[in-house]
Amino acid sequence: MARLSAILFFILSLAIGCGGGGSALGHVSGKLADPYGALITRSDALVSLDGAGVSGSPDSFGSFKLSAPPGTYNLVGIFHDPSAGIKLIGKRQVTLVAKQTLDVGIFELSNNNLLEGWARYNQRKYFQAEKFFLDYLDNAKTAQANIGSSSAYSGLGWTRGQGMNNPSEAVEDFNKAVNGWSDNTDSWAGLAGCHLSRMKTDGRFYFPEAISAISNAIDIPGDYSSAPTHDKITETDLKAFRVLVNFLAGNTQTARNEALAIEAEVKSLGNPAS
């Protein structure tokens, strides 16, 4: 009996040991999302820990959880839908600790063409930026890519209007951007600026169009900032721009009232131009 008890204890110890090995794994969890915050719930999306040999797909809520031995890995996300012309990729370094779960929150995937386009814009390589934005649009084949297409058209608008000094063509790009996504504040802001700029090239005034576009930008909920992609324009700058356009249009009382209303805000939050 004593020998049997010893054997059972040994077997039980092995079982506990095996279970303990599993519990010594580290875990990483989060939610997979596209560049605009929409959760990716498709089973053909893939999340993996590079070097650990583990992977999985998000559930119907966009959530994922992976487990691996303690260590530092690259968390990689991929979503590719050739029929829609969408290819999103994300990579983030994570360090897993035994018996702990690292929650990365929203794991956002990005489109390489959009990222490269804005990168070239900020480097003032405008012809290269234009090519990347056009490449994105060439590949965006269905309505599933509408918001991405809106961002690409916005990129073309800023590139052609600000970088290439072609505001009339940029107006067409910005109009396509807001037609695809009416809450694209960045495109409304760019459209307003181009309406003001093209007065020099077209020989006529576009004050009503500029005021309408900048008002649409300001009225969209949220505190706008272009800093994630370009130029570091703020919500305060948009308000200051509307003051300027109203003044140039001869709406002096409106301009004065708006200027007084945002004076303190401009001093604390505005760019030097504001």
pTM: 0.66
Token pair recorded at residue 179: 């037609």
Query: Are residues 30 and 107 in contact, defined by beta-carbon separation less than 8 angstroms?
Result: yes
pLDDT of residue 143: 43
List the domains of the chain with CATH numbers: 26-108 (2.60.40.1120), 112-269 (1.25.40.10)
**What is the per-residue pLDDT for 109?**
86
Going 66 to 70 to 72 to 73, the CA torsion angle's sign is: negative
The string over 115-148, giving b where at least 16 C-beta atoms fall within 10 Å of a residue's C-beta and e elsewhere, is ebbbebbeeeebebbbbbbbbbbebbeeeebebb
Q: Is 94 helix (H, G, I), strand (E, B) or coil?
A: strand
The angle subtended at Cα 117 by Cα 115 and Cα 118, nearest 5°, is 70
Spacing of C-alpha 23 from chain mean position: 36
Cross-strand bridge partners of residue 73: 94
Predicted pLDDT at 206: 95
pLDDT value of residue 90 = 86
**Mean pLDDT for back-to-back runs of 10 residues, the chain (274 residues):** 46 38 82 82 93 93 96 92 76 92 90 87 96 86 63 95 95 95 93 92 90 97 87 93 96 96 84 66
Calpha distance 172→61 (Å, rounded): 37
Q: CA of 192: how far to CAs of 22, 65, 75, 150, 222, in Å?
A: 59, 45, 40, 16, 18
In the chain, where do the E strands start and end? 26-33, 46-50, 54-56, 63-68, 71-81, 86-96, 101-108
φ, ψ for residue 87, nearest 5 deg = -140, 115
SS (H, E, C) 41-90: CCCCCEEEEECCCEEECCCCCCEEEEEECCEEEEEEEEEEECCCCEEEEE
